[in-house]
Amino acid sequence: MKGIGRAGLISVRTLLEANPLSASAPCRIDAGGTFDIRAFALTHRTIYPTTVNIALSLRTRMRLLPFDDGWIKISSAGFEKEETHRIEDVPFDSPMGIMFAAVSYFGFHGLRMIIDTQVPTQASLGGSSTALVAAVKALSKLKKAVGEKALSRKGILHLAFQIEDSVAGGFCGAQDHAAAVYGGVNQWIWRFGEPGGLAERRTLLDRSGQRELGRHILTAYSGIKHVSGSINRGWVTDFLKGKKRESWMEINAVVHELARALREGLWHEAGAALAKEMLLRRRVTPGALIPFTERLIDEAAAAGCGARFAGAGAGGCVWALGDTRSIESLRPVWETSLKTQKGAMILDCSVDPSGVT
């Protein structure tokens, strides 16, 4: 094609004019995040490095529409500027870099990607990874439309993680993508060194259990945006130097306890395990707490709940877990505190059972 410097590229403008495509995926709350980073999991295979996450019904939707041949245009809620680039010049280090990387992987051009989300911007709920999973799903549908085989869920997880981790320079975890792909409530045992997959998935609750869990959790957005990249880099750098390794092992063991308690529906015990992990995190990752989120976590403890920052913390969201009475008593306390911070709120959501669609 004239003006395009790469072989094997496909214009999808005509296909999308006839049939625009879309996909969506859920965000997540979590415990044990960090062991889903390769440097942590690969070097500590023998302790069964693990993460527990809960997919939330706050979804990010990706729409693919036609655009000029040779060009890709991407826009997203929460970002002031759209990005438009020729296929051979797409940047991978811009705010939309991972999206351009995904389109480039598939070799498509002549499309516009529009991202709509129910997730607050930079809320530490895995928003960028969720959007990427939705993008890979939509592009996989487009792949099928041009006569090739669509990706399986396992394939979407593998590709989305590889794209984001590569662009992030190896400091990206895989749990955000995993929750977005599969939905539900899962424990992940990270197995990066083994052929055939990134992780072993252990489903903790069926749909009935997921609905019940929804009565035992509360998620609040602090109104303060976070940036996870520098935080994760700091944790990995310290870990590689051998700092605080024993405490990281303790964290991993506690998350296994949390998984067991959730599987058995022992909500108070699960809340206690989450509180124990947070106690360890205060020592190991002090930069993940800011005064306002620390206040929310302390208020949860006073109400008899366990609570933890989501993702890498340093702003973003905090979530609490406990018996229904404790959660009900915590809600008005958090509502009062959240009124003091612009943009802060309790998120109206439930457990998402479906994953990417």
Identify the pLDDT of residue 141: 98
Q: Which residues are CB-contacts of 18 (< 8 A; sequence separation ≥ 6)?
A: none
Query: E strands within 197-283?
Result: 199-203, 217-221
Identify the pLDDT of residue 197: 74
CB distance 292 to 310 below 8 Å: no
The single-letter DSSP state of residue 292 is H
Q: Residue 157: which of 172, 141, 139, 179 has the closest Cα? A: 179
Q: Count H helices, E strands: the chain? A: 12, 13
Measure the CA–CA gap between 204 and 209, rounded to whole angstroms: 9
Identify the pLDDT of residue 102: 97
* Mode of pairing for the β-strands spanning 111-117 and 71-76: parallel
Tens digits of pLDDT across the chain (357 residues):
344 446 679 999 999 999 999 999 999 999 988 899 998 999 999 999 999 999 999 999 999 999 999 999 999 876 667 999 999 899 999 989 999 999 999 999 999 999 999 998 888 999 999 999 999 999 999 999 999 999 999 999 999 999 999 998 878 899 999 999 999 999 999 999 998 779 999 999 999 999 999 999 999 999 988 666 566 677 778 888 887 788 899 999 999 999 999 999 999 999 999 999 999 998 888 778 899 999 999 999 999 999 999 987 788 999 999 999 999 999 999 999 999 999 999 999 999 999 999
List 301's β-bridge partners, or say none: none
| Angle 185-233-166 from CA coordinates, rounded to 5° | 75
Identify the pLDDT of residue 232: 67
Q: What is the pTM of this model?
A: 0.93
CATH architecture of the domain 207-346 equals 2-Layer Sandwich (3.30)
Torsion, Cα of 81, 85, 87, 88 (10° steps) = -130
Identify the pLDDT of residue 6: 61
Query: E strands within 129-209?
Result: 185-190, 199-203
